[in-house]
Amino acid sequence: MVTQSFDLPHAVVCGFARGSRLRQAAGWLQLGWPAAAGAGLWLATAPPLSLASAALLKLTAAGRIVTGLAGVVGLAILLGRLAEWVRDDRAQRALDLTVWGVPPASALLLLDVPVPVVGLLIGLIWLVSVCCFPFGLLSLSRSVTLTVMHWREHRERLVRRRRRAEEFADRVAARLARMDHRGSPTEAPME
């Protein structure tokens, strides 16, 4: 739903065109989250597995989580571009923090650093980066709504202005045609 395409020219430039590969990838990669949840649920409720099967299932669950995180990063990139277009600096900073904070912090979390203080710091950075995403999304939703509303009003003003200019040109052309038909009063008769 968040990666829908827009027909606004500036949104198309930001990557929200119908054929945008980043927009499509961000949408499809989000499927990693339900797949990871399903694998985790199955792992929790399944009968005891062999050590190799459990390790393989955990590895595929981690792959699905990485897929979901890649989708969030792609979505954050798109929304950051949109925030730049609507000039929402708070949302752009929050989404940029998500883009630059989630991947390295996630990779470091997967390494499972043995020093507790460093692991806690990495977990805190990851949590802040992840929490910046909904904050940026909520901030952006208000800005985009206002921007789209202003764009539509601007487009309607342009249509009204064009219509008035066409009506004026038609009136001038009709008046000139009447003057040509009757003859201009300022012209002297030819002898």
Q: Residue type at 163?
A: R
Q: What is the DSSP letter of 186?
A: T
pLDDT at 155: 83
Distance CA 26, CA 7 (A): 19
Distance CA 23, CA 107 (A): 24
Task: Please say whether the dihedral angle defined by the alpha carbons of residues 108, 112, 114 and 119, taken in this order, is positive or negative.
Answer: positive
Q: Longest Cα pair distance anywhere in the chain, in angstroms?
A: 116
pLDDT at 160: 92
Tens-of-pLDDT digits for all 191 residues of the chain? 555 656 666 666 666 666 677 777 777 777 777 777 777 777 667 776 677 776 776 777 677 777 777 777 888 888 888 788 778 888 888 888 888 888 888 878 777 778 888 888 888 988 898 888 888 888 887 777 777 677 778 788 889 999 999 999 999 988 888 888 776 555 555 55
Distance CA 8, CA 21 (A): 18
Give the C-alpha distances (Å, rounded to integers) separating 16 from 8, 12, 79: 9, 5, 9
Distance CA 129, CA 95 (A): 9
Give the C-alpha distances (Å, rounded to integers) separating 55 from 7, 40, 43, 106, 180: 46, 12, 11, 19, 92
| Residue of 69, 30, 60, 68 lying closest to 42 (CA atoms) | 60
> 78 with 86: CB under 8 angstroms?
no
pLDDT at 163: 93
pLDDT at 166: 92
Q: What is the DSSP letter of 17?
A: S
Q: Residue type at 56?
A: L
pLDDT at 188: 52
Going from N- to C-terminal start, the domains of the chain cover 9-156
pLDDT at 185: 54
Cα 63 from chain centroid (whole Å) = 24
